[in-house]
């Protein structure tokens, strides 16, 4: 699933491809917003960790869980 994260005062958004479903990503975001550490931590599909300070979050957009189809339609 693709997760787009907008960061305040940053010209571009962060795009992270994760192996989690939308509900678990949403739960991680809610936990990060209520946690004292103030860090949103996501691990992408290649095992890299992305940390974003929750004070700088502008928005988080969760992509569709379905994979796009390849091919031609008639």
* pLDDT tens digits for range 64-74: 755 566 667 66
Higher pLDDT, 74 or 14: 14
Name the residue ranges covered by the structural domains of the chain. Answer: 2-62
Mean pLDDT of 25-37: 91
- Does residue 4 register a pLDDT over 80? yes
Mean pLDDT of 24-40: 91
Confidence category of residue 63, pLDDT binned at 50, 70, 90: confident
CA distance 63 to 1: 6
Mean pLDDT of the chain: 88
Q: Are 44 and 17 in contact (CB under 8 A)?
A: yes
**DSSP symbol at 54:** G
H or E segment and range at residue 31: helix 22-34
């Amino acid at each position: 699933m693709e997760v787009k994260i907008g960061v305040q005062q940053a010209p571009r958004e962060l795009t992270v491809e994760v192996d989690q479903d939308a509900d678990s990503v949403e739960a991680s975001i809610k936990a990060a917003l209520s946690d004292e550490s103030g860090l949103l931590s996501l691990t992408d599909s290649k095992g890299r960790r992305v940390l974003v300070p929750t004070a700088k979050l502008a928005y988080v957009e969760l992509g569709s869980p379905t994979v796009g189809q390849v091919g031609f339609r008639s």
